[in-house]
A and B are shown apart, each in its own frame.
Chain A
């Protein structure tokens, strides 16, 4: 079979499988939680919500025996939470895949490159200071996070450039930038007189407080940026042969890398702005896809998005049921998966990548 046809078939089949699993996970995400409910009850509630919208009582005189508390929980908590988990998971994974391509380094993701910490500082500044309130804050939050994330990414890149451009120098640069920004965030949280809604949860990363507002801001950003990256998948492939070959094959490396840096930082930062720092999704997912299917970004980007969404949603479900009734921050779960994986990569593949 022709190489290209094989790839198209692989892409379609795996996307379909991934979306199928995602829909099963989404349904489970609606079922599991503090309030026990059966699949059947959830389905009935969903049906009511889809037919009549929310709040139901305004439109329809329902017999008083129908319990609407599950409808309310679904509408206000579980549905936006599920959507946000899907968006964040795919955004972090796609952003990680792009960072790995432009840094030419498989050990990079939004967390390790310092972007998440930078974005967290930006977000904390916007939340804890009283510079912006209300609607202005809703807009300033992702913007501040983005400014922080991009600053951190640029710093990491500068350190990487100045320290010999080895894969290890990128990782170390990202780590120190991350530590610096995290300390500033901690300082801000400790000295602030404002109560940040679930500070601890936010530091470890959680989608528990996701709301429809988050969905409306996140969805257009993640969807449009992912589509934009997909357009450039073939150019990202040329980077696989190295910078010089990329120039020689007609890609304006400097401009393209800067553009992609901004896109990756924007995606990761908007995720961090609403859910705090969730590490390692951007590392693990693209890496597994790459090991299984090779590095063609036409497969890597869309499949990383889909499987990233799957991973984060699954992790969030685990976070809810692992130590019931206590709910864990989802970032803890992803770290449990990511840290051993990172160690494995360093040990098994470190030599190959010249570390």
Chain B
């Protein structure tokens, strides 16, 4: 068992020449990168730079125009949707779930790709879902319905759903967007422990300081292209932020905190648009 794991390459996701177009507008342009097992990868870049599109291609919601995505060495375009769903879970930044759906049911839906029976989840499915609920600290409102929750609470429910899916790869779109600073840190800590447990996590983020502190690797996108890829301290610098976002920023490495990025002022002529 050990050997077979080691003989397998450590790479879980390999992307080669990935391109995607919305009608005529190019959204992703020849992306090539690799992600290793158990890495927490931050996907950063301005709005419209292709972060969400990339995540959707990886979870097979969108089919790329060209390029190959290998998941555990297998081409995902040749896998069934259910096979992909068993390996790869995703948490969208925005979603319009049914308002009458109880939280417990939403999390249990994460078991969908794994349920063996025709109708009911078995005891193990429920156990996994309950663990996910505890881990995301949502048991207080587990009996309430989605329509009664705040967007931050909903986001944690969706993360719990993804945990219940027991995926090897977790694709998260703006996991901390609607959360207060405490939950921002809690979610990042949870993503970090998941990665340390061997789950590969790719998170699209806007909070550069958080991304730099928690991620093993950052992929910086601009207009559908990768402009930088590597360890946060190697990638994040004032020049890059000015180039990518069109923003003058203050970047410093604080001894007890890590990298801190403070946006200061916009720069004319920079940015995406």
Which A residues contact B (CB, under 8 angstroms)?
Answer: 2-4, 7-8, 104, 231, 233-234, 237-238, 240-242, 244-245, 247-252, 290-291, 294-296, 298, 352-354
Contact = CB atoms under 8 A, between A and B. Distances in A.
B124 to A, nearest CB: 11
A55 B113 CA distance: 56
Given A245-B90, A354-B96, 11 more contacts: A4-B108, A234-B112, A238-B112, A240-B97, A244-B61, A247-B59, A250-B82, A250-B83, A294-B145, A295-B100, A296-B105
Contacts of B115: 234
Nearest to A247: B61
Interface in B88-122: 88-90, 92, 95-102, 104-106, 108-110, 112-113, 115, 118-122
B192 to A, nearest CB: 23
B123 interface: yes
Contacts, number: 97
A7 B108 CA distance: 13
14 contacts: A3-B108, A8-B120, A234-B115, A237-B109, A240-B97, A241-B106, A248-B61, A248-B85, A249-B165, A250-B81, A294-B105, A295-B98, A352-B147, A354-B96
A237 B92 CA distance: 18
A248 B96 CA distance: 15
A251 B82 CA distance: 7
Nearest to A238: B112
A156 B98 CA distance: 22
B60 A247 contact: yes
A100 to B, nearest CB: 9
A4 B121 contact: yes
Interface in B67-92: 80-86, 88-90, 92
B96 A250 contact: no
Contact of A250 (B100, B102, B113): B113
A249 B84 CA distance: 8
A279 to B, nearest CB: 23
B95 A233 contact: no
